[in-house]
Structure 1
Amino acid sequence: MSGVIGGALGAWAQTAPAGQDSTPIVVTGTTDKPGEPMSRWKRAEADDVVVYSEGDEGQLRRIATNLEKLHALLDRLYRVRSRTAEPPRIEIVLFSTAKDLRDSGLRNIGADEGPFAKPFVGQRFYDPRPSGAVLAIARADQVIDTDTAKANAADCGDTGAADNDGESDAASDCIGKPLNHPPVSRSWESILYGAYAQHLMLHYVPNAYPRWYFDGIGAIFSTVVFKHDGSIEYGEQPANLTPMLRAYGRLDTRAVITGSYLHAPSKRMDWTPYHAWLLTHFFVMSNLSATDRTQFAQYLNAIDHGLSMAHAAEAFGTMEQLRREVRAYAGRPHEYAKTVKSSATYNPTVTPLSQATADAMLKRLVTHS
């Protein structure tokens, strides 16, 4: 287990939207009055987040507390700006179902992910508004199909997947072989924590970065674990990594590093948060060689200076060595990081909302999206 990520996670991101002010968000709407019909919605307010949910109060309070803990961690890892540039509190809306999220009318405005394979599209909506960003997700675990053509091809490849990276190079032969690729689930909380990490990345780190790295930072913090002693574990391998790589293809390192996957999808790989986790984890949490560290720094520096990903990728030479290293890394145990114990306390304020206030909140969110 690694104790720290080092400077890698705090080194590269894009500039926050211009014109950010530090004025706290004020939720407009009808003031609750005695006798007003109440909604199912509740609001949790903390120092850095305002969270709305139709779920029970205990869950809402726990989520708001975890987000405050994650904020404190990311503040230590990422912050390069002064606290006077602290963004307004983000509003986070937790819808009950994926259908409710789709029907809300919210749409992604900035910090787009992917492009991911179809099962991973539309997991969350994000809008970095100058008055305060908005993030919305559904409180429903995502069920992901792994019974894909790539998974079947990998199974039919006999022993070719010796490196455990999820895909075989051997000739296809499925005669007499039963195939079983059950669906797997991805926690809605993991999507929330990853999206929150990406939100702060946009505000705290002023450099440009490739989109795959933005995806990877979200994936790394999506597996965060909040321990009872106040410590936090992060960077752990996501559950079902191996079946996901089998289902959606081996990481195509060259396509991602050069950016070609953005406009010409790789035939070998369908891009997912799991691929993003693997490549980003390799660069920021593995024991990189001096050569890899130098080449990666040159690559990111070139992107920060406006060069295309394809030109920046020239830092890796032919990329064959990098491809072999990443491929081998996929099949090895992966380190993670853990903070020290903490006695810090968090006490978000939870308020039930009247139907009028809840309706005004939802209307305002959509009106500004």
Structure 2
Amino acid sequence: MQPGFNAVAGGGVTIRVLKGLLLLAGALALMPGTAQAAWLQANSRHFTIMSDGSEARLHEFAEKLEKFDGLLRRVTGVDDPEAGSPVHVYLLSNDAKVKALARNPNIGGFYTTSDRFAYAVLARGAKTSDYDVGAEDILFHEYTHHFMLHHFPAAYPAWYVEGFAEFFSAVKFPKDGSIQFGRIPMARAPTLVQDSPYPLKDLFARDTDGLGLRDGDRYYGTAWLLTHYFQYKADRRAEISHYLKDLAAGVPDMKLDGYFAGGVEGLEKDLKAYMRRPLSASRLDPSAVTVGAIAIGPVDPAQGALIEDELRLMNHPRTEDLPDIVRAIRATAAKFPSSAYALALLAEAEWEAEEKAAALADADRAIALDPGLSRAYSAQARALLERAQDDDKEEDWKAALKAIVKANRADTEDPVPLALFYRYHAMKGGLMPDIGYDGLAKAFLLLPQSPEYRMNYVQALAFRGEYAKASQLLDPLAYSPHPSGTRDAALALKKRFDAEAARKKSPSTAP
């Protein structure tokens, strides 16, 4: 299934790219907000948002995110509002903190996954120029990826994955409550106009690997333009639908020229002509999206004091950074001796830093303070599982299983205990019970954006002989627009699973 666009009520908005615009405005830092002592948390249907800014701004931001989610559901026809875990969004006081967390001085926000949820980190405040890629633009772009991966996972070409996200990143929320989308991402426009669109034969053939700043703007801008073209040129929409369907189905020896009127060269000519005309955008009426309840309350002081260090721990820290993270969390936990949350987080950090005895001790202390804290039992279970694997004592296996069951009972929607339950049976050996597969499947369904859960579930399916399904679920990893070791591993596994599926479908007739 591919993400399509349904007709949306509302008038068009005419937008023209200025031909005389030749210079890209320099990237401007987001204006830092005024930090407050207390963190606030907003809970809505699809988001959990943390901020140390004002309550009014937090409510406005939460409403905007829910409206954006509603926009995506409306135009793609998704009618399942409860699927998956809420995305966590952290609003920090300035973009210097975001850059430090990302270990990248060139970005204003980022999105990734932990083992519990998908999350985004950005700075409070608005961008100062339409030609700047602001933190909210990044969030909308990445949340579109998140939404697409959850509801329309398939083998898409890199340009379409990025073009689809760019299409929705340029969105506005006027005071009348409507939503404007399909607008021009102005940060891409100057390079697109000055240097002309990225050659389509190259766009169709490559991913984002190795693109510099200028070529990156052309690539992303052209991906947006082509997505926009097929959205608003209804008479050409069937072409892209046919192409994407065949690509996702793995049709061999696809000839691009056969999918588009006039071939790729003709499409490129039409696209350049399209860019020279006024481009339309869309408006979604205020009544088209229901935001739902937004509850805002204070964050527990210990949790608030730990937010930035917890983010450091979640965001795939380097091994050399772990001792410092442990020290920082330990120092804060000492200030809140009655906080089970602080001790559970400390146990997780100690586990990552190979301080296994300390991790188990602090997990036990957290459980003593709060016998209903799921993540404390999960931290305890990890340590007990390793102990059981080392000594193979039945009492240690039983203790590990008991901790996993308690973690699951404390929070049935936490994917971590579900994954640990499968891991327990895999480590202990013997026949995997159906409930083990079911638990891993639920962990994956709660967080399909996690490469780890997707890969683990895929391998479990393959172990059961479900090679075709396993191969299909690998598509988002194997055809990711961004190169990585995970993508390489997924491609290799997919090739092997496809061969096994073919062998299973056509068994040898030899005697």
Cα shift at 1:251: 2.8
Greater fraction helix: 2
Cα shift at 1:74: 1.7
Cα shift at 1:5: 4.0
In 1: Cα distance, 2:74 partner to 2:234 partner: 23
Structure 1 position 298 matched with structure 2 position 242: yes
Cα shift at 1:188: 2.8
Alignment of 1:127-142 (within 5 A): 127-129=112-114, 131-139=116-124
Query: Where does the alignment leave 5 or more consecutive residues of structure 2 unmatched?
Result: 9-35, 316-511
Alignment of 1:83-94 (within 5 A): 86-94=83-91
Structure 1 position 250 matched with structure 2 position 216: no
Cα shift at 1:126: 1.8
The aligned counterpart of 2:269 is: 324
Structure 1 residues 303 and 143: CA distance shift in structure 2, 3 A: farther
Any idea what the Cα deviations from partners look like across 1:106-145, whole Å, max 9, x if unmatched? 89xxxxxxxxxxx9x634322234532111123356689x
Cα shift at 1:205: 1.6
Secondary structure at 2:122's aligned position in 1?
A: strand
Structure 1 residues 78 and 232: CA distance shift in structure 2, 3 A: same
Structure 1 residues 230 and 324: CA distance shift in structure 2, 3 A: same
Cα shift at 1:48: 1.2
Structure 1 residues 312 and 76: CA distance shift in structure 2, 3 A: farther
Alignment of 1:77-226 (within 5 A): 77-78=75-76, 80=78, 86-104=83-101, 122-129=107-114, 131-139=116-124, 184-226=131-173
Give 2:67's match in structure 1, choosing from 62, 69, 73. Answer: 69
Secondary structure at 2:50's aligned position in 1?
A: strand
Give the letter aligned to residue 322 of structure 1. Answer: L
* Higher Rg: 2
The aligned counterpart of 1:353 is: 299
The aligned counterpart of 1:161 is: none
In 2: Cα distance, 1:123 partner to 1:213 partner: 23
RMSD across aligned C-alpha pairs, in angstroms? 3.6
Cα shift at 1:100: 0.5
Cα shift at 1:335: 1.3
Structure 1 residues 83 and 59: CA distance shift in structure 2, 3 A: closer
Asked if structure 2 preserves the Cα contact closer than 8 Å seen for 1:93 and 1:137, the reply is yes
Secondary structure at 1:39's aligned position in 2?
A: coil
Any idea what the Cα deviations from partners look like across 1:31-74, whole Å, max 9, x if unmatched? xxxxxxx8353221112101112332222111101111112222
Structure 1 position 39 matched with structure 2 position 37: yes
In 1: Cα distance, 2:95 partner to 2:312 partner: 16
The aligned length equals: 281
Give the letter aligned to residue 44 of structure 2. Answer: A
In 2: Cα distance, 1:143 partner to 1:249 partner: 26
Asked if structure 2 preserves the Cα contact closer than 8 Å seen for 1:253 and 1:323, the reply is yes
Structure 1 position 313 matched with structure 2 position 256: yes
In 2: Cα distance, 1:74 partner to 1:325 partner: 28
In 1: Cα distance, 2:268 partner to 2:161 partner: 20
In 2: Cα distance, 1:329 partner to 1:305 partner: 30
TM-score by length of 2: 0.48
Structure 1 position 238 matched with structure 2 position 223: no
In 2: Cα distance, 1:329 partner to 1:65 partner: 35
Cα shift at 1:104: 1.9
Cα shift at 1:213: 1.7
Structure 1 position 368 matched with structure 2 position 368: no
Greater RCO structure (CA 8 Å; 6+ sep): 1
Asked if structure 1 preserves the Cα contact closer than 8 Å seen for 2:111 and 2:120, the reply is yes
Cα shift at 1:255: 1.2
Give the letter aligned to residue 94 of structure 1. Answer: L
Asked if structure 1 preserves the Cα contact closer than 8 Å seen for 2:47 and 2:89, the reply is yes
In 2: Cα distance, 1:83 partner to 1:270 partner: 34
In 2: Cα distance, 1:295 partner to 1:73 partner: 25
Structure 1 position 337 matched with structure 2 position 282: yes
Give the letter aligned to residue 356 of structure 1. Answer: A
TM-score by length of 1: 0.64
Asked if structure 1 preserves the Cα contact closer than 8 Å seen for 2:172 and 2:181, the reply is yes
In 2: Cα distance, 1:344 partner to 1:138 partner: 26
Asked if structure 1 preserves the Cα contact closer than 8 Å seen for 2:5 and 2:76, the reply is no
Give the letter aligned to residue 358 of structure 1. Answer: G
Alignment of 1:256-271 (within 5 A): 256-259=203-206, 262=208, 269-271=215-217
Cα shift at 1:82: 5.0
Any idea what the Cα deviations from partners look like across 1:258-306, whole Å, max 9, x if unmatched? 22x545759994445433321211122x2243xx434322321232123
